[in-house]
């Protein structure tokens, strides 16, 4: 079960529940090797806050230690994910396990999340080879699908093949989708191609299943991948890098032997000297993991605060390839259906790339639709105009009285003509102590509240009924109609139909048999409302 709690760009802060465990996404599956437990799983859980580990069926098969049950062996109470051995077979060039064998081993071990043996596709594979591998991978997935299985997406660097893989696998219902075959691109710093592939996959997969970027374990790439809608990462990098004497930071990897200072204040760096880290890779591994976990938490908080674009735009400065990948991504404008129409945090303009962010693209498009060349002054009240730093909007000189102001805000937010319909001449405006517009009434009935934080018109019963034709509709099942009518939220599983063009944080009308029954704010977009089976779709404000 997967539900969304907050979002920005294509990023999602989610809650994933499986086998009686609930974890927050984005999350990272920390790789654990049964033969070399540098950090024991119990310590991962208690010291690092890890609630998801991943271990490998292929390594376990070849391990000398007899392992019967993963939860008992690792003494780990979180979720245990198993990988099939695909990557080991690719990196070591061995053919050591079959699909049937790896799935049987994973099931017998009591793994929570099992992975079939997909066929690793190299970036250098021709389209024909990539297609053959894709067909074989999809055949294996379909033949062995169970309810706790991952569906790996192959297709190499060929975007049409990635799309084909996603379309085919959209018809089945796996626990998780995993984008495979991307490690060589990350190792080569080919982040642009990585971005193209992830975007192509995200645009062709259902929204209600978490997506894992297989092998993405360096914190330098987490925020960009999260912005693209990746929910799960995995990392062996904390240990692999430590063995090579490499010290991870959010902006790149350093050689511990060449460092003079420890630019980190994790438990390890705060209580050890650089010499101790140079001489003990288990300390280095612990530092590396602290950095990884900190970045994951930072990303979650950034999504919650609507500050992920700011985090990404600082992280991409770490390498030109990241910068160009982000620039390419913004140029595709892929966020318009999913990025909330209003945000908790002010918009910060921090350079020319900010001009390509969805908040400004949307504002420009709205002004154009309404026929404004300059920004009408009343829009200073509304997000993002009045809630921004570092950007000068070209405001017109025209003066507006308060009724005209309200009408303009309604036209901007709800569509051309909404203002006059919602606010007739006899509208009574109520002000705050500082003479800000606060509420609007008609014949003593509350039409709306003007939210101070973003200038949005928050509709109440009388207002929603007046402009129902301007509002997008969310049709619910008639068995549950009494809940929104009494002011309770609409759950995604009860949505029968949703108008196209619903974006998170929009005012929407809840209907039943096409009759309005409630007004509220959308938390999901139209596609998600149809696809999600759990979580809230509309936060209802008032029944009608």
Catalytic residue numbers, as ranges: 83
Cα distance between the two ends of the chain: 31
Q: Smaller CB distance to Zn ion: residue 227 or 269?
A: 269
For Zn ion (CB under 5 A), the number of binding residues is 4
Structure tokens at 170: 């959209």
User: What is d(CA 510, CA 490) in angstroms, rounded to the nearest whole number?
Assistant: 8
**Within its chain, how far is the Cα of 177 from the centroid?**
14
The vertex-66 CA angle with 61 and 70, nearest 5°, equals 80
Q: Smaller CB distance to Zn ion: residue 264 or 318?
A: 264
Q: Which positions from 91 through 120 interact with Zn ion, judged by CB under 5 A?
A: none
Could you tell me if 395 and 368 are in contact, meaning their C-beta atoms sit under 8 angstroms apart?
no
Mark the segment that binds Zn ion (CB under 5 A) among 266-274, 300-308, 315-323, 382-390. Answer: 266-274
Q: Smaller CB distance to Zn ion: residue 277 or 450?
A: 277
Q: Smaller CB distance to Zn ion: residue 259 or 266?
A: 266
DSSP 352-390: GGGGGSHHHHHHHHHHHHTT-SSB-GGGGGSTTTSSEES
Could you tell me if 368 and 327 are in contact, meaning their C-beta atoms sit under 8 angstroms apart?
no
Q: Smaller CB distance to Zn ion: residue 244 or 445?
A: 244
Secondary structure, 3-state, 479-493: HHCHHHHCCCCEEHH
Q: Smaller CB distance to Zn ion: residue 185 or 242?
A: 242
Q: Minimal CA–CA distance to 57: which of 111, 18, 93, 95?
A: 111
Mark the segment that binds Zn ion (CB under 5 A) among 156-164, 175-183, 268-276, 339-347. Answer: 268-276
Each residue 343-362 as x (binds Zn ion by CB under 5 A) or -, in order, gives: --------------------
Q: Smaller CB distance to Zn ion: residue 297 or 368?
A: 297
Could you tell me if 213 and 230 are in contact, meaning their C-beta atoms sit under 8 angstroms apart?
yes
Q: Smaller CB distance to Zn ion: residue 262 or 457?
A: 262
Q: Which positions from 380 through 399 interact with Zn ion, judged by CB under 5 A?
A: none
Mark the segment that binds Zn ion (CB under 5 A) among 1-9, 274-282, 284-292, 320-328. Answer: 284-292
Q: Minimum distance between the CB of residue 48 and Zn ion, rounded to whole angstroms?
A: 12
Mark the segment that binds Zn ion (CB under 5 A) among 116-124, 261-269, 326-334, 454-462. Answer: 261-269
Backbone Cα Rg of the chain = 26
Q: Minimum distance between the CB of residue 292 and Zn ion, rounded to whole angstroms?
A: 11
User: What is d(CA 24, CA 226) in angstroms, rounded to the nearest whole number?
Assistant: 13
CA–CA distances in Å: residue 443 to residues 143, 377, 425, 463, 542 = 65, 29, 12, 12, 19
DSSP H/E element including 267: helix 267-271
If binding is defined by CB under 5 A, does position 287 make contact with Zn ion?
yes
Q: Which residues contact 330 (CB under 8 A, 6 or more apart)?
A: 353, 356, 357
Considering only 28, 130, 178, 269, the residue that binds Zn ion (CB under 5 A) is 269
Q: Smaller CB distance to Zn ion: residue 287 or 306?
A: 287
Q: Minimum distance between the CB of residue 247 and Zn ion, rounded to whole angstroms?
A: 8
Could you tell me if 144 and 102 are in contact, meaning their C-beta atoms sit under 8 angstroms apart?
no
Mark the segment that binds Zn ion (CB under 5 A) among 4-12, 269-277, 391-399, 406-414. Answer: 269-277
User: What is d(CA 283, CA 274) in angstroms, rounded to the nearest whole number?
Assistant: 10
User: What is d(CA 270, CA 32) in angstroms, rounded to the nearest whole number?
Assistant: 25
Q: Minimum distance between the CB of residue 276 and Zn ion, rounded to whole angstroms?
A: 12
Secondary structure of the chain: what % helix, strand, coil (to 5)? 40, 20, 35
Strand ranges, E, within 443-506: 445-450, 457-459, 472-476, 490-491, 495-498
Mark the segment that binds Zn ion (CB under 5 A) among 50-58, 279-287, 375-383, 536-544. Answer: 279-287
Q: Minimum distance between the CB of residue 287 and Zn ion, rounded to whole angstroms?
A: 4
Q: Smaller CB distance to Zn ion: residue 265 or 434?
A: 265
Three-state DSSP class for 412?
helix
Could you tell me if 358 and 335 are in contact, meaning their C-beta atoms sit under 8 angstroms apart?
yes
Q: Minimum distance between the CB of residue 264 and Zn ion, rounded to whole angstroms?
A: 3
Q: Minimum distance between the CB of residue 269 and Zn ion, rounded to whole angstroms?
A: 3
User: What is d(CA 524, CA 338) in angstroms, rounded to the nearest whole number?
Assistant: 8
If binding is defined by CB under 5 A, does position 264 make contact with Zn ion?
yes
User: What is d(CA 430, CA 412) in angstroms, rounded to the nearest whole number?
Assistant: 21
Q: Minimum distance between the CB of residue 489 and Zn ion, rounded to whole angstroms?
A: 42
Structure tokens at 237: 């990098």
Q: Which residues pair with 516 in a beta bridge?
A: 511
Q: Minimum distance between the CB of residue 290 and Zn ion, rounded to whole angstroms?
A: 5
Mark the segment that binds Zn ion (CB under 5 A) among 174-182, 267-275, 277-285, 386-394. Answer: 267-275
Residue 26, preceding peptide bond in cis (omega within 30° of 0): yes
CA–CA distances in Å: residue 383 to residues 346, 389, 418, 464, 474 = 8, 12, 18, 21, 24
For Zn ion, the binding residues (CB under 5 A) are 264, 266, 269, 287
């Amino acid at each position: 079960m997967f539900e969304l709690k907050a979002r920005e760009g294509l990023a999602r802060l989610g809650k994933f529940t499986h086998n009686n465990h609930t974890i927050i996404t984005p999350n990272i599956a920390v790789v654990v090797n049964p033969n070399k437990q540098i950090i024991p799983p119990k310590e991962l859980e208690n010291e690092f806050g890890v609630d998801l580990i991943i271990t490998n069926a292929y390594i376990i098969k070849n391990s000398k230690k007899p392992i019967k049950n993963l939860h008992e062996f690792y003494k780990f109470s979180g979720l245990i994910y198993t990988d099939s051995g695909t990557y080991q077979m690719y990196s070591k060039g061995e053919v050591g396990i079959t699909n049937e064998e790896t799935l049987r081993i994973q099931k017998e071990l009591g793994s929570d999340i099992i992975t079939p043996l997909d066929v690793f596709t190299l970036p250098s594979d021709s389209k024909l080879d990539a297609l053959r591998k894709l067909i074989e991978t999809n055949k294996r997935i379909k033949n062995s699908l169970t309810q706790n299985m991952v569906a790996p997406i192959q297709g190499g660097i060929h975007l049409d093949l990635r799309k084909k893989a996603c379309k085919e696998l959209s018809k089945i219902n796996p626990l998780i989708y995993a984008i495979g075959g991307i490690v060589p691109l990350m190792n080569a710093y080919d982040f642009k191609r990585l971005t193209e592939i992830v975007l192509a996959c995200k645009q062709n997969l259902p929204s209600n299943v978490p997506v894992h970027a297989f092998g993405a374990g360096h914190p330098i790439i987490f925020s960009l991948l999260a912005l693209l809608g990746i929910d799960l990462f995995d990392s062996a990098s904390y240990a692999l890098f430590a063995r090579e004497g490499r010290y991870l930071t959010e902006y790149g990897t350093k050689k511990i032997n060449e460092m003079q200072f420890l630019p980190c204040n994790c438990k390890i760096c705060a209580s050890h000297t650089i010499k101790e880290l140079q001489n003990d890779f288990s300390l280095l591994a612990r530092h590396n993991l602290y950095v990884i976990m900190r970045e994951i938490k930072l990303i979650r908080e950034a999504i919650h605060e609507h500050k992920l674009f700011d985090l990404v735009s600082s992280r991409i400065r770490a390498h030109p390839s990241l910068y160009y990948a982000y620039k390419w991504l913004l140029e595709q404008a892929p966020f318009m259906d999913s990025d909330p129409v209003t945000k908790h945090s002010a918009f910060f303009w921090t350079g020319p790339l900010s001009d390509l962010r969805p908040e400004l693209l949307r504002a420009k498009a709205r002004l154009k639709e309404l026929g404004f060349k300059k920004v009408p002054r009343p829009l200073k009240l509304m997000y993002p105009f009045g809630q921004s730093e570092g950007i000068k909007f070209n405001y017109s000189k025209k003066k507006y009285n308060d009724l005209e102001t309200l009408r303009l805000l309604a036209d901007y937010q709800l569509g051309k003509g909404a203002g006059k319909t919602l606010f007739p001449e006899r509208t009574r405006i109520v002000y705050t102590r500082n003479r800000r517009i606060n509420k609007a009434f008609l014949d003593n009935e509350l039409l709306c509240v003007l939210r101070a934080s973003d200038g949005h018109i928050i509709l109440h019963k009388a207002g929603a009924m007046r402009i129902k034709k301007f509002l997008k509709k969310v049709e619910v099942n008639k068995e549950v109609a009494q809940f929104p009518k009494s002011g309770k939220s609409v759950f995604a599983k009860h949505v029968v139909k949703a108008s196209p063009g619903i974006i998170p944080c929009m005012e929407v009308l809840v209907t039943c048999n096409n009759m309005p029954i409630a007004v509220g704010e959308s938390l999901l977009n139209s596609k998600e409302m149809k696809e999600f089976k759990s979580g809230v779709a509309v936060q209802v404000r008032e029944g009608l």
